[in-house]
Amino acid sequence: MTSIISLIGPPGSGKGTYSTLLASRLFNASFISVGDVLREQSATNEQLSTIMKTGELVDDGIVNEAVIHSLNSRSDKNAILLDGYPRNKAQTQLLQTWPPELRTSFSFALQIHVPGALCTQKILGRRKCTKCNKSFNVNGIDAGPYQMPPLLPEEGSCDVECNPDIDWEKREDDTEEIIKKRFDVYTNETKPVLRYWRDEKKLIRFVPYKGIADFDKLLKLVQQRLSRS
């Protein structure tokens, strides 16, 4: 049976990065970012595009259907890393309407804990190369126990000639105004989800003090928990 792992954390905490790495290291695993799924749909849906650009949450019913469709398309996987669902109390209630085989597939929720101020720095430093399609971060973190160097391309790691000044771009919603709105949404809507998973005894917490340098610790934690599922 497929094991679903729900990723929880504030914007900029690295959920997407850690999920992608986990999906590449766990056996027959896949990664679904609800944000990416909705952004793809917004390319042909003007109303959805407007909502996402303002930083507001998309209607729970729309998100729910998109998640179920994405999960069903990956039913052959041993594990699915799900970033962005359930994101609020209403979505946890919608889980009760899911097909039984999907509802019982949730193994646990993984909380990535990073302070909000550091997340903002990381968000403002995010870049994506339009040439090689890889993601980078030009901002490093040096704050007490949190030591996260910038995420830059390693020499010789890219097959194409990428010019950061020309080819790297920011997401249009990575602005301080939108970031603040997204954090307000997270505080008001998402944190109660932590209580839901805690009550279900399916919540584990990870603090990436050194960013992706701590990935092996995270991988071990997830593997140990999956072995008990």
Confidence of residue 224 (pLDDT cuts 50, 70, 90): very high
Residue 84, pLDDT > 90, answer no
pLDDT (average), residues 138-158: 87
Distance CA 16, CA 35 (A): 10
Confidence of residue 95 (pLDDT cuts 50, 70, 90): very high
pTM over the 0.85 mark? no
Q: What angle do CA 31, 37, 43 make, to 5 degrees?
A: 150
Distance CA 189, CA 200 (A): 18
Residue 42, pLDDT > 80, answer yes
**What backbone torsions phi and psi does residue 36 show, to the nearest 5 degrees?**
-65, -40
Could you say which DSSP state residue 154 is in? P
Write b or e for each residue in 134-163: b if 16 or more Cβ atoms lie within 10 A of its Cβ, otherwise e. Answer: eebbebebeeeeeebeebeeeeeeeeeebe
Q: What is the amino acid identity at position 128?
A: K
Residue 55, pLDDT > 80, answer no
Q: Could you tell me if 176 and 124 are in contact, meaning their C-beta atoms sit under 8 angstroms apart? A: yes
